Amino acid sequence: MIVTVASFKGGVGKTTTAIHLAAFLQGRGETLLIDADPNRSALGWASRGELPFPVIDEWHTDRLTDGYRHIVIDTQAHPDRQDLELLMRSCHLLVLPTTPDVMALDALGLTVNYLKTLRTQHYCILLTALPPKPGRTEAAVRSLLAEAKLPVLQRGIRRYSAFQKAAAAGVPVYAVKDPKAEAAWQDYEAAGAEILANLGAEERGEGV
């Protein structure tokens, strides 16, 4: 299974999402993370510590992707139409992380508009950097996305400083000493399980 993480805007948790979805999938089969972002944020994360899966750049995929059950791809910010079309053809699901602020949602809208022109439904939206406690902001954003009939994962990722600690240490969030590390990891576990369930339903012809 190939999962690609993309966004029209930086700072929405794209690399954090790629790292933690790969960590989740690694628990279900050998997983590879491909860092196709020119900033090489995932490779930088891996270089500072130890991740439970390998991370390579896109230039080495021809000889190192065999034997993996899952592949996660971290892409560059602001892909154009041609990039999105290529990404959609080469993955089973496109994950679009977005923070619940106006600028990020505007960028998400541009991405979704591009995807509509490609006539594809193989994507889902993941809300990130949510306030730790449910509030009106998340509810309002979910209502807005629901009105637009967009595929949004039920579980979002809450905003915890544990993620910054994990990036600095070069490990998944569950490996840092922080009182919220477990809760942060549980968010990604739930999101990952939902992604697998959605893909399974799609394969059975039930839709996402």
Domain ranges of the chain: 2-203
pLDDT at 117: 75
Write down the number of H helices and E strands in the chain: 8, 6
What are the tokens at 189?
A: 């576990």
pTM of the entire structure? 0.89
What are the tokens at 18?
A: 């790629």
Residue among 63, 61, 112, 64 nearest 90 (CA)? 61
Question: Tokens 């892409």 belong to which residue?
Answer: 75
Residue 99 has pLDDT above 50, yes or no: yes
pLDDT digits (tens, 9 = 90+) for 27-83: 999 999 999 998 999 999 999 999 999 999 876 555 556 789 999 999 987 777 777
pLDDT at 132: 81
Residue percentage of the chain with pLDDT more than 90: 58
pLDDT digits (tens, 9 = 90+) for 127-164: 999 998 767 888 889 998 999 889 999 999 999 999 99
CATH architecture of the domain formed by 2-203 = 3-Layer(aba) Sandwich (3.40)
Confidence of residue 201 (pLDDT cuts 50, 70, 90): low
Residue percentage of the chain with pLDDT more than 70: 90
pLDDT at 204: 41
Residue 86 has pLDDT above 90, yes or no: no
pLDDT at 63: 54
Torsion of CA 158, 162, 98, 3, to 10 degrees: -110
Confidence of residue 202 (pLDDT cuts 50, 70, 90): low
pLDDT averaged over every residue in the chain = 88
pLDDT at 205: 44
Cα→Cα distances 166→17, 19, 151, 169, Å: 12, 10, 29, 5
